[in-house]
Chains A and B, each alone.
Chain A
């Protein structure tokens, strides 16, 4: 029998395998992680909601299936934490916003359906920056999540809850979403691995949209092979999402991932290694590059000349789309509303109703971006802002297309700094926006990218490196990351 205390060190693959072989019961697994959440989360605050009853119920059903000798899914008995902007039918989904407080999802997101089909256990919903707008989870309307490595520091964002939960093993796997780095940046800051799939590789149906042309759901895990497994489960074409790409991900190769880096041409884009970069971060990534060279990769310096336009391009396109996406939150069909407060609504004008509901429901960062986007789309300004941003986006995409003629992957730091202190950047939104400067271009170009740990600062904060690949080259990306991971010893988060 497996030592239950050791479960925190198990990979998701091992857990599923042992449940399948009846060496572990899914119920034991569920209870272990629920207990761990109960013990650790009061300090970390990664979860907005935990589902003990539902998780145990689902675990029992899996155990019954196993004992009847029926086949079970790829994620049999594996707890998965879900970012709270992804719908799970019958449970509250808030996007960490007051405007959706009490909103019960009427259907399952496509990725959640797939998790259920593979017998995963949905263990809880994780915290985020309100509507995924932010890089520290400090914009959550409920509470900030803390970095399990150092509780005085932020976990990154916006998928900070998912990254923190995986880092201190409150769940072996988690789902996040990445619009400008929201999976990769918190993965880097929390010392875990996170993948932003190619735009269209994972269905967005049931992901509450922030910026539809940039949003992608992706996995977070403690090792690259687990990351590949979860990507395999959630990926593939979905007829409910018109931007979803045809073709299923490579099944066998992703389920049984093999390390492969030798012979790969890896480019180091000059524009990503600037003086703005924290010295320790730069050094760690350069060390990692040397390491990859030793493993047989061929390194070269490359240039992506339009990188400097990425942040401003992003902060026109994303808020523009958000201003329309978030218009539906008006308190008329769902969410808190003056209409439900028993107020004398007859005397209320429609404008007042909208203003009150939205004025109270949205936090300051969300309002800032709605206003930015509304302005950028306004008649007379559209061409100068949104129109120009679309042109810049094309140039950024062409940069990558050109560079991928000569290299297979790109290697960069994931974030300019390691985890920062609470409040360090909240007073300066622009400073906060720059923490995504290295991750944003991949979203603008629709590439796949991942972040994985490559070292720590002197103060012990994790540092992440980013690998970027051409569209739909997740397998190449994951195999290279796997090879690097195997060459590098990584001590997991000490919090217990």
Chain B
């Protein structure tokens, strides 16, 4: 990684566009779930800019934007104004975009990004706006001589979150975005799926030679993953530092990130910048939010990832990395907490709660998430519920069953996908888990194990002799051999015991 040379100070601000998770579009009742839908299948006179059509604001979008603004500790304006942003482009059906300009929904927020140490980033503003359509230049793999327009995205509700230039590097920008995305998902403001265009980011960056004067600002666009944001920032810091080193002048311009080439390319200079001629949209009265409504939304905000992580660490005695993973998404953290509360083992041989929790957390992260990932499923669509997984963990501990049993049962569960596996009642979940353990077939009776033990001793007579001679560690090879013969379905501790008996040592 190339860092700015000492004396060259990068200053970075981000403009993030986030698609709100509403059912319908911002100014009409067309469905906003358009990803993967056939072109122009979710359109109407309003979102295709037909003559005479008028916008009507979606109250649900306002509520989500408000939630985001409050979570980012912004000052919410009781009155904000929609404005027309004028420019001509074929994906913009009215040739103006309805946005907010002089009076945005919210301003002056503060967002703390985790890490050591944590860092506070000031939020300049948060406003509502509509998305544009999409131009298609190819159909399938065939390049077209003309372009086609798909208006499905036209009118999709977005919020734009503009940060102050408080970021100082690529890594910090990456952390800011990761934390922001996670928070928006927690708040159920947005799904933030970048591949579906639900989160987009532009970068404003300058490099200065002294801390007292800022350098010339360059805007970078076309960043379609967090990775490209990081790479583009690194590249641009290097490019500008190099220019300053050679005494060249940096131009105020907009540049595009070329991910294949790993570099930014000039798109337009300051002189070519649009004059958007913003003015208040006369079709929409100012948006009024009464203070009671604002307070209502504020008090209904869910716990955000950073504080949930801290709470999980103290409440469940998890390590920081464990809590970090479990709070990555809200559904995952919810799954964990739902399961963890059932992990009270019955007396008398109760292992301590935190051990059970660690077991549960490991199975969740290593086994269940792995399976889900392999099948391209989200935790929300897991065929196994938290109560069932918790019951399995408890039973395994109580009956001293092999670790592998969890993996085997999950394997089978993913194939069968029974409704009972999602049972929320702990007692029922426990019964289901017992039945599944039975079915997976744990070999625990000595009659079945004895022949296998005999066979193992015969095949590994050297190890057997070593053990008899007092070499304690020789036993593990024998246990391994038996376990192999049972395909891991025996309890290793029981095998250990039986082997000792067979070798005449208790």
A208 beta carbon closer than 8 Å to chain B: yes
Complex interface: chain B residues within 8 A of A103 (CB): 51
List residues of A (199-245) whose CB comes within 8 Å of B's CBs.
Answer: 204-209, 211-213, 239-243
* Given A107-B50, A205-B53, A240-B54, also A328-B284 (CB < 8 A): no
A419 to B55, CA, bound (A): 38
Complex interface: chain A residues within 8 A of B94 (CB): 324, 327-328
A450 to B223, CA, bound (A): 57
Complex interface: chain B residues within 8 A of A100 (CB): 51
Asked whether A345 lies within 8 Å of B146 as measured between CB atoms, the reply is yes
B45 beta carbon closer than 8 Å to chain A: yes
Q: Mark A338-357, 1 if CB is under 8 A from B, else 0.
A: 00000001100010001000
* Given A327-B96, A328-B94, A328-B95, also A106-B88 (CB < 8 A): no
A93 to B283, CA, bound (A): 21
B277 beta carbon closer than 8 Å to chain A: yes
B420 beta carbon closer than 8 Å to chain A: no
A4 beta carbon closer than 8 Å to chain B: no
Point out the residue from B88, B275, B281 that lies within 8 Å of A330, measured CB to CB: B88
Taking CB as reference atom, which chain A residue is nearest B145?
A: A346
B279 beta carbon closer than 8 Å to chain A: yes
A304 to B297, CA, bound (A): 46
Q: Mark B112-156, 1 if CB is under 8 A from A, else 0.
A: 000000000000000000000000000000000110010000000
Asked whether A205 lies within 8 Å of B54 as measured between CB atoms, the reply is yes
Asked whether B90 lies within 8 Å of A109 as measured between CB atoms, the reply is no
Q: Mark A179-212, 1 if CB is under 8 A from B, else 0.
A: 0000000000000000000000000111111011
Complex interface: chain B residues within 8 A of A93 (CB): 51
Asked whether A327 lies within 8 Å of B86 as measured between CB atoms, the reply is yes
Most A-side CB within 10 Å, residue of B51, B84, B90: B51
Complex interface: chain B residues within 8 A of A303 (CB): none
Q: Mark B268-308, 1 if CB is under 8 A from A, else 0.
A: 00000001011101111100000000000000000000000
* Given A327-B96, A377-B86, also A242-B52 (CB < 8 A): no
Complex interface: chain A residues within 8 A of B146 (CB): 345-346
Asked whether A213 lies within 8 Å of B282 as measured between CB atoms, the reply is yes
| Interface of chain B, main secondary structure | loop
Point out the residue from A204, A330, A334 that lies within 8 Å of B54, measured CB to CB: A204
Complex interface: chain B residues within 8 A of A206 (CB): 52-53
* Given A327-B96, A350-B90, also A240-B50 (CB < 8 A): no
A379 beta carbon closer than 8 Å to chain B: yes
B185 beta carbon closer than 8 Å to chain A: no
B240 beta carbon closer than 8 Å to chain A: no
Complex interface: chain A residues within 8 A of B56 (CB): 239-242
Asked whether A107 lies within 8 Å of B45 as measured between CB atoms, the reply is yes
Complex interface: chain B residues within 8 A of A208 (CB): 51-52
Q: Mark A435-469, 1 if CB is under 8 A from B, else 0.
A: 00000000000000000000000000000000000
A374 beta carbon closer than 8 Å to chain B: yes
Asked whether A386 lies within 8 Å of B96 as measured between CB atoms, the reply is no
Asked whether A333 lies within 8 Å of B54 as measured between CB atoms, the reply is no
B57 beta carbon closer than 8 Å to chain A: yes
Complex interface: chain B residues within 8 A of A212 (CB): 281-283
A93 to B45, CA, bound (A): 15
| Interface of chain A, main secondary structure | loop
Most A-side CB within 10 Å, residue of B50, B84, B281: B50
B10 beta carbon closer than 8 Å to chain A: no
Q: What is the minimal beta-carbon distance from A349 to any residue of chain B, in angstroms?
A: 12
Complex interface: chain B residues within 8 A of A345 (CB): 146
A454 to B417, CA, bound (A): 84
* Given A242-B56, A377-B277, also A327-B283 (CB < 8 A): no
Complex interface: chain B residues within 8 A of A382 (CB): 277, 279
Complex interface: chain B residues within 8 A of A495 (CB): none
Complex interface: chain B residues within 8 A of A205 (CB): 52-54
Complex interface: chain B residues within 8 A of A209 (CB): 51-52, 283
A93 to B284, CA, bound (A): 25
B157 beta carbon closer than 8 Å to chain A: no
A382 to B86, CA, bound (A): 14
B109 beta carbon closer than 8 Å to chain A: no
B264 beta carbon closer than 8 Å to chain A: no
Complex interface: chain A residues within 8 A of B48 (CB): 333
A412 beta carbon closer than 8 Å to chain B: no
Most B-side CB within 10 Å, residue of A205, A324, A329: A324
B93 beta carbon closer than 8 Å to chain A: yes
Q: What is the minimal beta-carbon distance from A107 to any residue of chain B, in angstroms?
A: 5
Point out the residue from B52, B88, B145 that lies within 8 Å of A354, measured CB to CB: B88
Asked whether A332 lies within 8 Å of B52 as measured between CB atoms, the reply is no
List residues of A (236-279) whose CB comes within 8 Å of B's CBs.
Answer: 239-243
Complex interface: chain B residues within 8 A of A334 (CB): 50-51
Complex interface: chain A residues within 8 A of B426 (CB): none
A150 to B51, CA, bound (A): 35
Complex interface: chain A residues within 8 A of B149 (CB): 332-333
* Given A327-B95, A333-B93, A374-B277, also A242-B285 (CB < 8 A): yes
A334 to B149, CA, bound (A): 13
* Given A213-B282, A324-B96, A332-B90, also A378-B275 (CB < 8 A): yes
A285 beta carbon closer than 8 Å to chain B: no
List residues of A (89-107) whose CB comes within 8 Å of B's CBs.
Answer: 93, 95, 100, 103, 105-107
Q: What is the minimal beta-carbon distance from B458 to any residue of chain A, in angstroms?
A: 82
A320 beta carbon closer than 8 Å to chain B: yes
B49 beta carbon closer than 8 Å to chain A: yes
A321 beta carbon closer than 8 Å to chain B: yes
Asked whether A328 lies within 8 Å of B93 as measured between CB atoms, the reply is yes
Complex interface: chain B residues within 8 A of A241 (CB): 54, 56
A430 to B76, CA, bound (A): 45
A97 to B56, CA, bound (A): 28
Asked whether A242 lies within 8 Å of B55 as measured between CB atoms, the reply is yes
Q: What is the minimal beta-carbon distance from B27 to any residue of chain A, in angstroms?
A: 9
Complex interface: chain B residues within 8 A of A323 (CB): 86, 277
Complex interface: chain A residues within 8 A of B277 (CB): 323-324, 374, 377-379, 382
Q: What is the minimal beta-carbon distance from A233 to any residue of chain B, in angstroms?
A: 19
Asked whether B86 lies within 8 Å of A324 as measured between CB atoms, the reply is yes
Asked whether A207 lies within 8 Å of B52 as measured between CB atoms, the reply is yes
The list of the 7 closest CB pairs from A to B, nearest first, reads A327-B95, A213-B282, A212-B282, A377-B277, A206-B52, A208-B51, A328-B49
Known: A330-B88, A377-B277. 6 other contacts (CB 8 A): A106-B50, A204-B54, A240-B56, A241-B56, A350-B89, A382-B277
16 A-B contact pairs sorted by A residue (CB < 8 Å): A107-B53, A206-B53, A211-B282, A240-B54, A241-B54, A242-B57, A243-B284, A320-B279, A324-B96, A324-B279, A328-B93, A333-B49, A334-B51, A377-B278, A378-B275, A379-B275
Q: Which residues of A contact B (CB under 8 A)?
A: 86-87, 93, 95, 100, 103, 105-107, 109, 204-209, 211-213, 239-243, 320-321, 323-324, 327-330, 332-334, 345-346, 350, 354, 374, 377-379, 382, 386
